[in-house]
């Protein structure tokens, strides 16, 4: 999940509704992961079935907001300064997510994660320190058994791709004329459709491992939405509609919560739906959210709260999900479903509370200090 607000830059209008939508998507991700604990290997039957598409929505938002915040600043902004701003915005919570993952690692031991019991503390700490850099870890350092490039905090894989997008933007994408961006967006859309419709899974699930297949998935998921977000901003596509935050939230929730299409026999049908979501529905939601006229009121306060919470929630909740997944795997057959779901609700509440504490007592003060220490004024 990727917060793309620019540290230290306050002279532009802020797309508060887009921030709020990022928060809604983050909340759906947590709920999706809680539901996923019941059938982690069976995407056909998962509740909130398309919750993983929130990551693709994050990439689209990121492309839009990065282009909005920085496209017209390069006459005074250096590449070094751009990278400093992005690191200050994103990196503190990467460190916190890895630290929480390390603190809770041995509480996740059990049949679901058999490698944990045999992982020495020094190796776990080494994985944590390497995780602080966000450099992807090879399979040989998988201390959990899920093949993740960041086994202490799985969702950090998408931040790795977010940084790749930021690097590509700073080094070249920002210089492209719109016609060239159109060409890249079209090619990236074909790349995405090839994966979703013609791939062997019938979905875009994946991207979190360092091997050829997973990197293929990761780049297919990154390139279209990020490039399309940039193009959407540059073309000035805004759709002014009353009640935009509520409307966009409902559209996003429905898109991410619909059941799997086509079943096991027609995987391509689900791939078609996911392609349509990412290529058509998500850009429409962003265009509506960006076109809204902000008025002070309840929806504005809700959007701000969701927006502030979105990135901390996304990057810190998964260590709790690991614990819950292990607990469900050992209790699912003997514990009433209502009890299991009640524990899931407690995990959701704990995730929100932990994220809010991280935001207020760590992320905001640390970013303020870093911005004051390392960023140019004005």
Q: Please give the average per-residue pLDDT across 116-126, as a whole number.
A: 97
Looking at residue 47, what is its pLDDT?
A: 85
- Dump the DSSP string for 232-299: HHHTT-----TTHHHHHHHHHHHHHHSPPSSTTT-HHHHHHHHHHIIIIIHHHHHHHHHTPPP-SSHH
Q: Is it the case that residue 184 has pLDDT exceeding 80?
A: yes
Looking at residue 1, what is its pLDDT?
A: 56
Q: Record the pTM.
A: 0.94
Report the chain's mean pLDDT, rounded to a whole number: 93
Planar angle of CA 364, 367, 368, nearest 5 degrees: 85
* Residues β-bridged to residue 113: 110
Q: Note the pLDDT tens digit of each residue in 240-274.
A: 898 899 999 999 999 999 999 998 899 999 999 99
Contact 154, 148 (CB under 8 A): yes
Q: Note the pLDDT tens digit of each residue in 191-211.
A: 999 999 999 999 999 999 999
Comparing 355 with 376, which gets the higher pLDDT?
355
Q: Is it the case that residue 51 has pLDDT exceeding 90?
A: yes
End-to-end distance of the chain based on CA atoms, in angstroms?
28
Residue ranges per domain, the chain? 16-374
């Amino acid at each position: 999940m990727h917060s793309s607000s620019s540290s230290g830059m306050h002279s532009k209008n802020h797309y508060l509704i887009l921030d709020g939508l990022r928060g809604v998507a983050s909340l759906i991700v947590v709920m999706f992961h809680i539901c996923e604990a019941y059938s982690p290997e069976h995407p056909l039957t998962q509740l909130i079935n398309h919750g993983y598409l929130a990551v693709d929505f994050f990439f689209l938002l990121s492309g839009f907001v990065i282009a909005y915040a920085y496209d017209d600043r390069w006459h005074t902004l250096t590449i070094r300064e751009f990278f400093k701003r992005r690191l200050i915005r994103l990196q503190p919570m990467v460190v916190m997510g890895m630290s929480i993952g390390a603190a809770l690692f041995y509480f996740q031991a059990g049949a679901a994660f058999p490698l944990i019991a045999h992982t020495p503390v020094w190796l776990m700490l080494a994985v944590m320190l390497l995780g602080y850099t966000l450099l992807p870890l090879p399979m040989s350092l998988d201390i959990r058994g899920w093949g993740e490039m960041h086994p202490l905090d799985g969702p950090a894989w998408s931040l790795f791709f977010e940084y790749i997008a930021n690097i590509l933007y700073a080094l070249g994408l920002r210089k492209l004329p719109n016609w060239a961006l159109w060409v890249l967006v079209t090619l990236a859309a074909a790349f995405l459709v090839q994966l979703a419709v013609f791939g062997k899974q019938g979905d875009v699930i994946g991207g979190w491992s360092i091997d050829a297949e997973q990197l293929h998935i990761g780049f297919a998921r990154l390139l279209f939405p990020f490039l399309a977000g940039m193009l959407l901003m540059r073309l000035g596509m805004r759709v002014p509609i009353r009640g935009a935050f509520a409307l966009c939230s409902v559209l996003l929730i429905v898109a991410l919560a619909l059941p799997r299409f086509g079943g096991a026999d027609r995987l391509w049908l689900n791939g078609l739906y996911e392609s349509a979501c990412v290529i058509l529905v998500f850009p429409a939601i962003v265009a509506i959210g960006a076109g809204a006229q902000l008025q002070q009121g309840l929806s504005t306060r809700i959007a701000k709260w969701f927006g502030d919470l979105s990135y901390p929630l996304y990057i810190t909740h998964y260590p709790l999900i690991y614990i819950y997944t292990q607990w469900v795997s050992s209790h699912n057959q003997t514990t009433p479903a209502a009890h299991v779901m009640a524990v899931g609700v407690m995990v959701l509440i704990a995730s929100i509370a932990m994220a809010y504490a991280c935001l207020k007592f760590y992320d905001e003060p640390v970013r303020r200090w870093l911005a004051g220490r390392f960023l140019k004024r004005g």
